[in-house]
């Protein structure tokens, strides 16, 4: 049986104003996500434009989705929410990739700098593997040590 990545499971979700929600994933990453364009693009979700219904947000069974009607038409998969969150906030993979670009690091150089394999760095860079918080902190520390600046990896 294939195990679902923790980054694609939802621990908590809370409705915010204007079709936005605060979401926390099982890997610990959280973000505010604007669903207004997504809702407008999917006719089955149009009822969510009602603030009264949007307030009824709940995390679906096992954290695989968020739902407003107990798994009916007004349900959005965790993978879709994660994709939207990363697009809107930059997400860990984009931050990691930006760190590499900002410091002119190749896959091999980043791997050597962090004491990891080139293959794992490639996974982190593309977002195909969860980036542990310790790795993001190591990127910040590396940048401070090498450039004397503070940044978001």
DSSP symbols for 96-111: HHHHHHHTT--HHHHH
Distances (CA, A) of 130 to 12, 22, 135: 18, 20, 10
The CATH number covering residue 129 comes to 1.10.260.40
pTM of the model: 0.64
The domain boundary, picked from 44, 72, 89, lies at 89
Residue 71 lies in a domain: yes
Does 113 have pLDDT greater than 80?
A: yes
State residue 123 phi and psi, 5-degree precision: -60, -45
pLDDT top residue among 23 and 91: 23
- The arithmetic mean of pLDDT across residues 24-43, rounded, is 91
Average pLDDT, whole number, for the chain?
A: 87
- The arithmetic mean of pLDDT across residues 131-137, rounded, is 87
Show the domain range for 26. 6-89
Separation CA 108–CA 118 (nearest Å): 5
């Amino acid at each position: 049986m294939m195990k679902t990545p923790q980054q694609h499971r939802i621990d908590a979700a809370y409705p915010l104003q204007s079709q936005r929600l605060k979401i926390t994933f099982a890997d610990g990453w959280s973000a505010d996500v604007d669903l207004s364009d997504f809702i407008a693009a999917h006719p089955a979700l149009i009822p969510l434009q009602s603030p009264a219904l949007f307030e009824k947000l709940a995390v679906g069974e096992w954290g695989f989705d968020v739902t407003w009607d107990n798994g009916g038409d007004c349900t959005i998969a965790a993978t879709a929410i994660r994709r939207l969150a990363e697009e809107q906030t930059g997400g860990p993979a984009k931050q990691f990739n930006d760190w590499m670009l900002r410091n002119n690091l190749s896959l091999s150089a980043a791997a050597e700098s962090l004491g990891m394999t080139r293959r794992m760095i490639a996974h982190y860079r593309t977002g195909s593997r969860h980036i542990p918080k310790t790795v993001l902190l190591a990127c910040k520390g590396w940048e401070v040590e090498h450039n004397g600046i503070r940044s978001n990896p």
